[in-house]
Structure 1
Amino acid sequence: MKLKIPELHNIGKAGVDFIKELLNFRNNDYFKRRFCE
């Protein structure tokens, strides 16, 4: 599915990247606490 509005597509991509970073951060924090203590 192609979006006709480039700005909307960019916002969606940025949102996906942001969510991935957030999950990555939470996972990293979890592993640090679990394996470094």
Structure 2
Amino acid sequence: MELTQHEARIIGVLLEKELTTPEQYPLSLNSLTSG
């Protein structure tokens, strides 16, 4: 399975935010867009 650059970035943002701010997880669309 190959990811596009945008897909990989989205997954990276989700993983990073889950680890660094678990109390704010799941993310809002605004948080994901900012990432």
TM-score by length of 1: 0.49
Deviation at 1:33, TM superposition (A): 0.2
Structure 1: where are the runs of 5+ without partners? Answer: 1-17
Report the secondary structure of 1:22's partner residue: helix
Runs of 4+ displaced beyond 4 Å = none
Q: In percent, how many aligned pairs have the same letter?
A: 5
Relative contact order higher in (CA < 8 Å, ≥ 6 apart): 2
Aligned length: 20
Choose 1 or 2 for highest CA Rg.
1
Alpha carbon RMSD of aligned pairs, Å? 1.5
1:28 to 8, 13, 16: 13
Task: Using structure 2 for the length normalisation, give the TM-score.
Answer: 0.52
